[in-house]
């Protein structure tokens, strides 16, 4: 497979039916970083009108995987991650910005900041995550 | 709000639009434990035909929250969790079994085992998680 | 290196100067499980007279690594772990019981329950952890 | 208790016997941040001559707690944390830099970067962590 660029990364995302269901898109990809965005809509909420934690967890997981993919190549396998929610998530759009903090030959560690963006473009941090991604080449 | 039982817990789940989108159901609830199930269907998969990690993360998060709710009451707020994926998830159904390991007045810690169930009812562990849930009563 | 047994595992532990400083010992080892114990003494405490969280974190990390070593062999590298403290830790002895929940060729995932034991042998859960360990054979 | 400054923070650290055993010191404290340092010496190593993971875990835990203390006040209780090791830790000194990413009334979430510093002052990232700290005022 060729190295990924933003256009190919979006194609990979579009080949994930669950990402299509959530209508996720990748808006930046490269140099150890990936940004994944999801528009807030009713069917992604929990019972109090906030974005469901599961949507944030999805965005953390997937943006960390894609960020690691910029370093490890397209064949990767997310080993696990931790997420801490810091505020109820409300706004127009969820933006998950992931960045690799270290990449070796076999694995990469990445962090993710999750923001919601309001109608005026103001951003509010709603969760932070960190995770480990393995290269699937060797398995 | 009255203490939750299985029927009320399912009503809370049904009031989460994201859980409705995923067609999640609660099959056990009480005494520090909650079991959440999701049938595997195409729109929940990733690009290689496995259940998307985000679905597992959702099920871990939500089952931990409900398990904590059996101890802390209905007004809870998940603080965060960690999930480790151990195998690609494939099968007919995802079953997330969460159990409280400790509950105090202000917070509960719970663990979750995530299994996939095949056509013959055989279960395969695909992920493990642990998380912390705060009582929202005091905030 | 030969496969590890309890006696060899204790030798590996004794070759870790930090484990010697903490006077840790291994009391069970094999079949995906390892038990690590540390006697509570003044120099392991924090400012309120409880066992310092760092001692619990050490015991979680090391017991998870040894449990994984029963499955992956002696050359392992801990990738990371999460720990949740559930109670202030007080008593005579800290016991960390780790068990592998899944081991593949390249990595193992293990959980750990951390107990303190009082003068009468009564055990109290004080923390839970889970972590990932990589085989170092391939790197 | 008065608000903490660097001098008082060092006094709190000195009142933790385990921090005295490790000879830890606080070199910065305030505005949501705390830096904890430990000189590398033989008794803190593991069997291959690297700093033991338990020392890194201690430094992550304690620096996160102190960073949270700048926001929540001196009476805090660490709920838990996750740490990912990215490189074997070797050098003269371990530096753990923790910073609060969000602080509310009841809890703070902080991240920590752990570096080793060599003889020439060069820094190498060896682990990253994130954790949650509760205010103990209310319990």
pLDDT in tens, D67-88: 999 999 989 999 999 999 999 9
Per-residue model confidence (pLDDT) at position C97 = 98
Mutate to test the interface with A, among C132, C133, C135 (most CBs of A within 10 A): C132
Asked if A27 reaches chain B (Cβ–Cβ under 8 Å), the answer is no
How close is the nearest chain D Cα to the Cα of A133, in Å?
11
Q: Do B43 and A58 touch (CB under 8 A)?
A: no
Mean pLDDT of chain D: 95
Mutate to test the interface with C, among D43, D49, D53 (most CBs of C within 10 A): D53
Q: Residue C82: its chain A contacts at CB < 8 A?
A: 82
Q: How far is CA B29 from CA B9, B79, B96, C33, in A?
A: 7, 20, 12, 30
Interatomic CA distance for residues D102 and A126, integer angstroms: 9
Per-residue model confidence (pLDDT) at position A2 = 60
Q: How far is CA B103 from CA B99, B129, B132, D42, D105, in A?
A: 11, 17, 10, 40, 21
Percent of chain A's residues with pLDDT above 90:
91
Per-residue model confidence (pLDDT) at position C35 = 98
Question: What letter does residue B104 receive in the DSSP assignment?
Answer: -
Chain segment B9-44, per-residue pLDDT in tens: 999 999 999 999 999 999 999 999 999 999 999 999
Check whether C137 has a pLDDT greater than 80.
no
Asked if A138 reaches chain C (Cβ–Cβ under 8 Å), the answer is yes
Q: Do B79 and D139 touch (CB under 8 A)?
A: no
Check whether C2 has a pLDDT greater than 70.
no
Residues comprising chain A, all counted = 139
Q: Which chains touch C (3 or more CB pairs under 8 A)?
A: A, B, D
Question: Which helix (H) or strand (E) covers residue D10, if one does?
Answer: helix D6-14
Asked if C42 reaches chain D (Cβ–Cβ under 8 Å), the answer is yes
Chain segment C83-132, per-residue pLDDT in tens: 999 999 999 999 999 999 999 989 999 999 999 999 999 999 999 999 99
Check whether B3 has a pLDDT greater than 70.
no
Picking from B20, B44, B85, the nearest residue to A17 by CB comes out as: B44
Count the alpha carbons within 13 Å of A131 in the hemisphere toward its beta carbon: 38
Per-residue model confidence (pLDDT) at position A3 = 66
Mean pLDDT of chain A: 95
Confidence of residue D139 (pLDDT cuts 50, 70, 90): very low
Interface ipTM? 0.95
Q: Residue A106: its chain C contacts at CB < 8 A?
A: 106, 134, 138-139
Mutate to test the interface with D, among B68, B103, B134, B137 (most CBs of D within 10 A): B134
Check whether A31 has a pLDDT greater than 70.
yes
Per-residue model confidence (pLDDT) at position C74 = 87
Chain segment A91-102, per-residue pLDDT in tens: 999 999 999 999
Give the global pTM.
Answer: 0.96
Check whether C8 has a pLDDT greater than 60.
yes
Confidence of residue B74 (pLDDT cuts 50, 70, 90): confident
Check whether D89 has a pLDDT greater than 70.
yes
SS3 of D121, please?
coil
Mean pLDDT of chain B: 95
Check whether B52 has a pLDDT greater than 90.
yes
Check whether D3 has a pLDDT greater than 70.
no
Chain segment A36-55, per-residue pLDDT in tens: 999 999 999 999 999 999 99
Confidence of residue C139 (pLDDT cuts 50, 70, 90): very low
Per-residue model confidence (pLDDT) at position D127 = 98
Interatomic CA distance for residues D75 and D64, integer angstroms: 14
Asked if A90 reaches chain B (Cβ–Cβ under 8 Å), the answer is no
Checking B24-32 for CB contacts under 8 A at 24+ apart, the result is B24/B58, B24/B59, B24/B62, B26/B66, B27/B95, B29/B4, B29/B5, B29/B66, B29/B70, B30/B5, B30/B6, B30/B70, B31/B70, B32/B67, B32/B70, B32/B71, B32/B99, B32/B100, B32/B103, B32/B110
Per-residue model confidence (pLDDT) at position D138 = 52
Percent of chain A's residues with pLDDT above 70:
96
Q: Give the domain ranges of chain D.
A: 6-135
- C41: tokens are 């003494």
Per-residue model confidence (pLDDT) at position A136 = 86
Per-residue model confidence (pLDDT) at position B2 = 60
CATH architecture of the region C6-135: Roll (3.10)
Nearest C-alpha in A relative to B18: A44
Per-residue model confidence (pLDDT) at position D133 = 97
Confidence of residue A139 (pLDDT cuts 50, 70, 90): very low
Q: Look-up: residue for tokens 């385990």?
A: D18
Q: Do A107 and C134 touch (CB under 8 A)?
A: yes
Per-residue model confidence (pLDDT) at position D4 = 76
Q: Do B139 and D105 touch (CB under 8 A)?
A: yes
SS3 of A137, please?
coil
Percent of chain C's residues with pLDDT above 70:
96
Check whether C40 has a pLDDT greater than 80.
yes
Q: Which residues pair with D30 in a beta bridge?
A: D33
Chain segment C42-93, per-residue pLDDT in tens: 999 999 999 999 999 999 999 999 999 999 998 999 999 999 999 999 999 9
Per-residue model confidence (pLDDT) at position D136 = 86
Angle in degrees, 0-180, between the axes of helices C6-14 and C53-72, rounded to the nearest 10: 130
């Amino acid at each position: 497979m060729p190295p990924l660029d933003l256009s190919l990364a979006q194609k990979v995302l579009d080949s994930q039916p669950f990402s299509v269901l959530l209508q996720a898109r990748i808006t930046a990809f490269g140099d150890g970083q990936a940004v994944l965005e999801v528009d807030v809509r009713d069917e992604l909420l929990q019972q109090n009108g906030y974005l469901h934690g599961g949507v944030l967890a999805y965005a953390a997981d997937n943006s960390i995987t894609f960020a690691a993919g910029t370093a490890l190549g397209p064949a990767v396998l997310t080993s696990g991650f931790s997420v801490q929610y810091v505020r109820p998530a409300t706004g127009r759009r969820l933006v998950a910005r992931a960045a690799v903090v270290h990449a070796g030959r076999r694995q990469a560690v990445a962090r993710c900041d999750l923001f919601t963006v309001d109608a005026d473009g103001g951003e509010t941090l709603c969760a932070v995550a960190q995770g480990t991604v393995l290269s699937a080449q060797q398995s």
